[in-house]
Amino acid sequence: MDEQPLESEHEYGRFSPWRETAEIDEEQARQLAARLELRAQGEDQVVMRDAYLDLLDVVPGARVLDVGCGSGAVLRALARRVAPEGTAVGLDPSPALLAVAREIADLEGLAERIEFLEGDARSLPVADADFDIVLATTVLGHVPEGDGAIAELARVVRPGGRVGVLELDGDGLLMVHPDRDLTRRIVAAWSDNSLVDGWLGRRLPGLMEEAGLQDVRMRAFTPIERGTTGFYVGLVERAAEIAVTVEAITSEEHRRWLTALRAEQAAGRFVAGLTQLFVWGTRPLVMLVASDAEALAVEPTTVAEEPVIAVAPVEERLIPAVPLEKAEL
């Protein structure tokens, strides 16, 4: 029997509006920001945001980094939590989105508590151990090789600090619709083409542990909306358009699907939502990952057996404030 390849040749995320934002102009930024702000206002979205910020233990006085902050909806919530002494820093590759985020923060009287920084999650322009908390919400699944950014998030959080990542689960887009077959094809087309890695969230626990984080935990949320004015109504319609573009459904099937969707909405039965996975962990006092072992020219197993030999130079490099005998191995 022929061996099946484990990974598909499919190029994921071809139609992600978020993967190349560095060059977008003001008008595009305003359109994208309007989507993010609409999403952020949803009742379930607020409940989810409060819950994951509680899990990260964002407290007054903390210095926090929001990677891929977009229009700043989560960043503003962070700024309110760390007030009055803390700082919230929002990083994004898009100067146009950062300008909109700054404008909204000004309007909400938060400008003094927020700093903005242009940059890329995969190579953060930030010193090691600079933050108490580092967060990225619905960002890394849109970024080619976004999983590589986890080590960067872990690098810039201080020992004892926490890293949190929220990811959409691409196949977790749910809605009320009478045609299951068409709807499933639309969801799969959206998951594969609108997200570079719609399954990244499922891999986050393993990735965070590989990056050296400890006490890694995971929680699922599924914000849902009823009615026809929320964010997810627009999302399911954009998903159907993508499905036509990639020929997962025909134009005729699209028309049929939309007509049935409108009937559900007119009857007041419509519900839509999306499962999202939140994974968080703590940077240990001494973080020893595979690259440290390489830098020290020792086998990772040798590091585990002979901690005193390996840990001294790592400690000097990463956590000068912690004496060797107190370091948690």
Q: Does 276 bind ligand SAM (CB under 6 A)?
A: no
Show contacts with ligand SAM in window 27-46 (CB under 6 A). 36
Q: Euclidean distance between the first and final Cα of the chain, in Å?
A: 48
CA angle 289, 135, 175 (to 5 degrees): 115
320 SS3 class: coil
Considering only 64, 105, 139, 187, the residue that binds ligand SAM (CB under 6 A) is 139
Considering only 121, 200, 244, 279, the residue that binds ligand SAM (CB under 6 A) is 121
Q: Does 16 bind ligand SAM (CB under 6 A)?
A: no
Q: Does 64 bind ligand SAM (CB under 6 A)?
A: no
Q: Do the beta carbons of residue 64 and residue 80 sit within 8 Å?
A: no
Q: Does 94 bind ligand SAM (CB under 6 A)?
A: yes
Nearer to ligand SAM, 76 or 158 (CB): 76
> Alpha carbon of 53 to those of 48, 109, 169: distances in Å?
9, 21, 19
Considering only 48, 69, 204, 249, the residue that binds ligand SAM (CB under 6 A) is 69
Location of structure tokens 């700093």: 115
Considering only 62, 78, 79, 97, the residue that binds ligand SAM (CB under 6 A) is 97
Q: Does 138 bind ligand SAM (CB under 6 A)?
A: yes
The β-bridge relationship of strands 131-137 and 114-118 is unpaired
Nearer to ligand SAM, 18 or 257 (CB): 18
Query: What is the tally of helices (H) and strands (E) in the chain?
Result: 12, 8
Q: How far apart are CA 175 and CA 260, in angstroms?
A: 12
Where do contacts with ligand SAM occur on this chain (CB under 6 A)? Answer: 18, 21, 36, 67-70, 73-74, 92-94, 97, 120-122, 137-139, 142-143
